[in-house]
Structure formats: structure tokens, C-alpha cells
A = this chain, B = another copy of it.
Amino acid sequence: MTRFALTLEFDGGPFFGLQRQENGPSVQQSVEEAAQRITGKDVTLHSAGRTDSGVHALAMRSHLDIEKPFEPFRLMEALNAHLRPEPVAVTHCEAKPDDWHARFSCIGRSYEYRIRNRRAPLTLEKGRAWHIARPLDADAMDEAAQALVGQHDFTTFRSVHCQSASPEKTLGRLDVSREGDAVLIRAAARSFLHHQVRSMVGCLALVGQGQWRVEQMQEALEARDRAALGLNAPPEGLYFVAARYPDEEQEI
């Protein structure tokens, strides 16, 4: 048996999320079925994050165990051949020790959230960004974001369906920057609560539009109450961009 780490890129649009669902197609099901067609065996995919319906990934990290010997490049090619024409691709594949786990070994997750801030509807980025027509003050958003960085009880920014044992998380980074008519939000933490990034982004958008004062972000956090949430941002602007593992950290 060999444990293979996969890097997955996918368009979340047609999926009911990464994790297997009873009610519709999932990225997990697509990759597992591709692996089953190659190996003739049941295969389970484990992943660093559990992205929601409509959320994209540039580099989700996952793993699966395969009995048959495989050269990693050949496995990647075979998986991609069987995944066609679904919008899921394996961009990297490598063998890992048996105790390497895509979810439990992961020590850092990064997301990007993309907003297009203009009057005109989206064309090429439809389904790839959140369209906000009212002008956003990205500097005010960035200032408000800093209230959330650090270790806090994030109950306000947590889905009622969240299965995490504790609402305490340590947010390492939450930056907002403007590039032309795009407003980009970058978030990094060891781990996130369910809907945490979208909930934080939704409230930042209220600050950006002047509907919330900058200080209201701090107040919402301190409320520790889901009812204090201003807005949950839509999934189509969210991208899982990177996962960190101890064995891959650069030596200094």
C-alpha cells in the first residue's frame, strides 16, 4: 500500500461541495470513482478542507491509499484521464509516508476571497467572484479585519452546522487589498470553523459599503452570537489556495 498526496484544482460551481453528499455530486465522489476505476478497489479520499457547495480550489491537498504499485506521475495522469470532463484536476501527485494525513497533518490553511467591485455585471468572472456594485472602501475593510486576527471565540462567524469541538480559533492573517476594481481578501489560519471565511467576508463587505462602522467588527466578534453576524458572503468568490505541512516547510 502506498499513500499518495494529491493537489486538486476544481471549479466548485457544479458540485455540492468537496465532501461526499447524499443529495448531489461532490469532488470527493468524483476523485474516489476515478481511483476505483483505475484500481478496481474502494478508495477513500481525505482532504485538508471541507469546502462548501460552489467554493473553488486552486490547490486543495488530499490523500488516498492505493495497494497496487504506481509511479506518482502515472497515477496523476490516470486520475485526470478518468476525471474528464468534470472540472476537477490533479495538478500534483507524490508518495508520502503512511502516517502523513492530508487533514490531520495539516498545520495551515489559506483562502482567498475575490470581489469584483463595479457597476457592470460580471461576464468572464461570473461564478468566480462576488459582484458588489456599491463602492467598497478597501482600506476600511482592512482596518476592520485586523480586529479578528489572533485567538478568539469565533461563534459569531460560525455556521450553526459547524462540527468543531470549540469555537476558539487563531486567525493568523486577514488582509484586504484593492487591485483595480477587484477587492481581494486573504485569510490564513491553522484551521477555520465552518463558514468562517464567508462570514468574515460578509461583514467586511458591510464595512466596505459603510453600512457598518469599522468598530462594529470588534463588537460582532465580542457578541459571540451568530445573530450578530451581518452577512454571509456567497460561495462563488471563495478559493482554497494552500495547505501547509510540517514535512514541506522550508529549512531556514
Interface residues, chain A, with chain B CB atoms under 8 Å away: 9-11, 56, 58, 73, 76-77, 80, 83-84, 87-91, 118-124, 126, 128
Q: How many copies does the complex hold?
A: 2
For A89, the closest partner residue in chain B by CB is B120
Measured CB to CB, the closest approach of chain B to A75, in angstroms, equals 12
Complex contact B120–A80 (CB within 8 A): yes
A89: which of B10, B91, B123 is its contact (CB, 8 Å)? Answer: B123
Q: Which of A87, A89, A121 has the most CB of B within 10 A?
A: A121
A124: which of B56, B121, B126 is its contact (CB, 8 Å)? Answer: B56
A76 to B119, alpha carbons, bound, how many Å?
A: 9
Measured CB to CB, the closest approach of chain B to A62, in angstroms, equals 14
Measured CB to CB, the closest approach of chain B to A147, in angstroms, equals 32
For A13, the closest partner residue in chain B by CB is B124
6 extra interface residue pairs, beta carbon distance < 8 Å, beyond A10-B123, A89-B123: A11-B126, A56-B124, A76-B119, A77-B119, A87-B126, A90-B120
Q: In the complex, what residues of B have CB within 8 A of residue A56's CB?
A: 124
Q: In the complex, what residues of B have CB within 8 A of residue A88's CB?
A: 123
Q: Which of A9, A80, A84, A118 has the most CB of B within 10 A?
A: A9
Complex contact A128–B120 (CB within 8 A): no
A124 to B57, alpha carbons, bound, how many Å?
A: 9
Complex contact A11–B91 (CB within 8 A): no
Q: List 14 A-B contacts (CB under 8 A).
A: A10-B124, A11-B124, A56-B124, A58-B124, A76-B119, A76-B120, A80-B121, A84-B121, A87-B123, A87-B126, A89-B123, A90-B120, A91-B120, A124-B128
Q: In the complex, what residues of B have CB within 8 A of residue A121's CB?
A: 80, 83-84, 89
Measured CB to CB, the closest approach of chain B to A21, in angstroms, equals 19
Q: In the complex, what residues of B have CB within 8 A of residue A128's CB?
A: 124
Q: In the complex, what residues of B have CB within 8 A of residue A9's CB?
A: 120, 123-124
Measured CB to CB, the closest approach of chain B to A122, in angstroms, equals 7
A123 to B56, alpha carbons, bound, how many Å?
A: 10
